[in-house]
Structure 1
Amino acid sequence: MNKFTVFFITILMSFGLFSQSGVSHNAFDQLLQKYVEDEGMVDYKGLKAERSELKSYLSTLENNAPQKSWTRDQKLAYWINAYNAYTLELILEHYPVESIKDIGSTIKIPFVSTAWDIKFINIGGEEYDLNNIEHGIIRKDFDEPRIHFALVCAAVSCPKLQNRAYLPEKLDEQLTKAAKEFLSNPAKNRFKNENQATLSKLFNWYGGDFKNDGTLIEYINRYAPTKLSKNADIDWMDYNWNLNEQK
C-alpha cells in the first residue's frame, strides 16, 4: 500500500465514508458530563450556551449513519445517543419551555402534531422524527427492553438522562445500570413489599416489550431492589411531564 493510498483512506475515514467501527460519541459524552448532574437533571441554560457543540455532534451523526458492517451494539448505541441528543436539541430550539409536551401544535393529534412527530432530524439523507427513531428503528430492530430506561424524553418522570454517552463496548453494562437505577428510584417506582408496588407508567405503556421472555413481574425482578411475588398487586404512578431541568 503506497503513501497516497494510505492518505486517501485516512481522509475517507475522517469523513465517516470508510468507517467500519461506528462513530465517536466523545463530544456528546463531554457535554453530558458538563451539563447533566448525577440525578439526571439538565442545565439547559448552560447547554444552550454551547449549543454549537451539540450541533457539531449532531452533524457527525447526520453524516455517519449506521452501516451494515457495524455491530449490533454500535448501531444500538448510535440510535440511543441520537434520540437523547436530538431531544436535547429540540428542547433548546424552544427553550425556555415548561414541558416537552408544550412543543408542537396547540391542538395535539397523536402521531401528527406532538413534539415526537416533528421531522427535524436528517440522518444519511433520510428525514426522521423522534417517534421514527424510537418505534420505527430501536423497538422494531432491536430486541432490547432496557432501551426504555435509556431513552429520555426530557420529563421528570422519564428515566434519568445518564451523564455519559452510551458506548458499544460498554452498552450491556450501561443498560443494566440504567435499569437498576430507574427501578431503585422511589420517585419513579415504589416497592411497598413483595406483594405491592406502584410502578412507572412506562411498564404499562410498553408492557408487551417486557414480556418476551416471561411476565412483566419476572422482568422487573431482574433489576428491582425488592423482588415481587408473581401475584403482586401493581398500581401505576402519575407521570410528571415537567421539564427535567436543574433548579
Structure 2
Amino acid sequence: MARSTEQATSSAPERDGSPTTLAQDLLVACRRGDSTERYRTALAKATDADLRQIREDRQTGLAFWLNCYNAGTQLLLEERPDLYESPLRFVRFFHAPAVTVGGTSLPLDRIENGLLRGGRSKYGLGYLPKINVTNFERRYRLDGCDPRIHFALNCGAESCPAIRAYEPDRVDEQLDLATRSYLDATVEYDADAGTVLVPRVFLWFRGDFGGGSGIRELLRSYDAIPDDATPKIRHNSWDWTRAAGKFVE
C-alpha cells in the first residue's frame, strides 16, 4: 500500500511504477529535496492504458490529480519563482507548464479547473462551466466537484492549506482530515455578532460549495459553527506571500 507523505520521509521511495505511485513519489521527492527527474519523465511517458484507472476510478483520479497539482506547485516555486512574484502571477504562474502527464503539458489552472473541478470555470464564483475544454480534459476530468479539494490544493501562498500525499484507498478520509484541520485553523465564529469569518476560497468557489446554505452546512458538519447557527458569512483576506514547502508535519 502506498505510504503517506509523513511516512515516506524516512527512506527513498522505491515502489511500483504506476502513475498513481509516481505522482505520490514525485510529491515526496519535492518535500525531501531529492531529484524529481525520474518521476517526471515516467509520468510524461505514461500511456492511455497506464492511465486507465485514473480515468475510470474516481478515488484514484482524485488522489492522482491532487498530488500532481501540489507537486507541480512546488516544482514551479523552486524552478521559476519569478512567475509567482510577478504582478501577472494569475496568468504567468498558474498557466505555466507544471507537470506533464501522458505527453500532455499541464499548468496548475488546467489541473484544478479542467480536471479536479470537473470542467468548471475559475470565473463566476464556481457557477459557470469552463469554456475552453481540451480533449485531455474531457477524457480525464472528474465527474463533478468535491469541494473539499479546496482544502487540499496548495498554490504556494501563505494562506494555502498544508500539503499531504493522497492515496486512492484513503483519499476520502484524508480529505476529511485536511478540511477539518484547515477550517479549525482559519474559521472564526462570532455568536454575538451572528457572523462567521471564512477563508476567501469560499467566495472564489462559492458555487462549488452550494452557495451560502451549502457553506453553512459544511461548516456545521465540521463543527466550525453550531448546528443551530445561521450566521452571516464574511470572507477573510488572502495572504499571497510565497510559502514553498508547506507540508503536513
TM-score after normalising by structure 2: 0.70
Q: 2:109 aligns with which of 131, 136, 143?
A: 131
Contact 2:65/2:111, CA 8 A, preserved across alignment: yes
Contact 2:62/2:116, CA 8 A, preserved across alignment: yes
Report the 3-state secondary structure (helix = DSSP H, G, I; strand = E; otherwise coil) of the residue aligned with 1:92.
helix
* 2:125 paired residue number: none
| Whole-angstrom CA distance in 2 between matches of 1:67 and 1:210 | 29
Q: Note the C-alpha offset of 1:31.
A: 3.8
Unaligned runs of 5+ in 1: 1-13, 36-46
Aligned pairs for 1:177-188 (under 5 A) are: 177-185=177-185, 188=186
Q: Which amino acid aligns with 1:239?
A: W
* 2:45 paired residue number: 63
Q: Note the C-alpha offset of 1:120.
A: 4.3
| Whole-angstrom CA distance in 1 between matches of 2:167 and 2:245 | 25
Contact 1:157/1:239, CA 8 A, preserved across alignment: yes
Q: Note the C-alpha offset of 1:212.
A: 7.7
Contact 1:218/1:230, CA 8 A, preserved across alignment: no
* 2:161 paired residue number: 159
Paired residues, what number?
Answer: 202
Q: Note the C-alpha offset of 1:109.
A: 8.2
* 2:100 paired residue number: 122
* 1:174 paired residue number: 174
| Cα shift readout 1:140-165 (whole Å, capped 9, x = no counterpart) | 12431111111110111112223xx1
* 2:78 paired residue number: 92
Q: Note the C-alpha offset of 1:83.
A: 0.3
Q: Note the C-alpha offset of 1:67.
A: 1.6
| Whole-angstrom CA distance in 1 between matches of 2:101 and 2:244 | 28
Report the 3-state secondary structure (helix = DSSP H, G, I; strand = E; otherwise coil) of the residue aligned with 1:169.
coil
Contact 2:157/2:239, CA 8 A, preserved across alignment: yes
| Structure with max Cα Rg | 1
Q: 2:60 aligns with which of 74, 78, 96?
A: 74
| Cα shift readout 1:175-199 (whole Å, capped 9, x = no counterpart) | 00000001000xx322233832111
Q: Which amino acid aligns with 1:154?
A: G
| Whole-angstrom CA distance in 2 between matches of 1:246 and 1:123 | 23
Aligned-pair identity in percent equals: 26
Change over 3 Å in CA distance of 1:61–1:193 after alignment to 2: farther
Report the 3-state secondary structure (helix = DSSP H, G, I; strand = E; otherwise coil) of the residue aligned with 2:94.
helix
TM-score after normalising by structure 1: 0.70
Aligned pairs for 1:204-243 (under 5 A) are: 204-211=203-210, 215-227=214-226, 229=228, 231-243=230-242
Report the 3-state secondary structure (helix = DSSP H, G, I; strand = E; otherwise coil) of the residue aligned with 1:122.
strand
Root-mean-square deviation (CA, aligned residues, Å) is: 3.0
| Whole-angstrom CA distance in 1 between matches of 2:241 and 2:89 | 20
Q: Which amino acid aligns with 2:106?
A: Y
